[in-house]
Amino acid sequence: MASVTGPEIERLIQLLARVPGLGPRSARRAALQLIKKREQLLAPLAEAMRVANERILTCSVCGNVDTSDPCTLCRDPKRDPTVLVVVEDVADLWALERAQATMGAYHVLGGVLSALDGVGPKDLDLDRLVARVAEGVVKEVVLALNATVDGQTTAHYVTELLAPYGVKVTRLAHGVPVGGELDYLDEGTLAAAMRQRTAL
């Protein structure tokens, strides 16, 4: 198929197409918008990407992505260091922060155990998690992992790993989503919600 544009714009489109949520068609549309709004959009975006690319690093304490190490959250004195929230990925940490769900500290595992994908304990940031708990400040570890088989396998593994340290280990409730209607829930969710019912 013949190219409509020169190689520079084709390259922009190809790179945009690799962004999650964008396919080739959306990438083409996005590229065209960027080019049309060169001053308002393309130039500031290019500058923001250049700066981010230079300054982004991974927090050596929690595994969050930021431009400082320790990260903004780890340096925040208002966070409660006695509650440690364990997540699979930075995206989950950001989701919990958007929801203002906790004032605890975080620990990013960098994945979950998966026999199918060949992910073992050595592939996760477990040593640093154990080291943080061993310091004795943490009183509760909240396993905020996905309600998938791999997520729950990992939750069990971490629970056993932390058992010698005498910390309380909790996990997120599984059940009826806020605003959810019972009739629309799958059987697994409904059964879990019934098992984890709470007193009013």
CA-only gyration radius of the chain, Å: 21
With beta carbons less than 8 A apart as the criterion, state whether 71 and 64 touch. yes
On whether the CB atoms of residues 194 and 173 are closer than 8 A, the answer is no
Contact residues for 41 (Cβ-Cβ < 8 A; gap 6+): 33, 34
Binding of residue 105 to Zn ion (CB under 5 A) = no
By CB under 5 A, residue 87 contacts Zn ion: no
Q: Of 13 and 62, which CB lies nearer to Zn ion in the complex structure?
A: 62
Encoded one letter per residue, x for contact with Zn ion by CB under 5 A and - for no contact, window 42-81 reads: -----------------x-xx-x-----xx--x-------
> In whole angstroms, how close is the CB of 182 to Zn ion at the nearest point?
39
31 or 64: CB nearest Zn ion = 64
Contact flag: residue 84 with Zn ion (CB under 5 A): no
Tokens of 93: 């940490």
Q: How far is the CB of 196 from Zn ion (least distance, A)?
A: 30
Residues in contact with Zn ion, total (CB under 5 A)? 7
Q: Binding of Zn ion at residue 96 (CB under 5 A)?
A: no
108 binds Zn ion (CB under 5 A): no
Minimum CB–partner distance for residue 109 and Zn ion (Å): 14
**Least distance between Zn ion and beta carbon 59 (Å):** 3
Binding site for Zn ion (CB under 5 A): 59, 61-62, 64, 70-71, 74
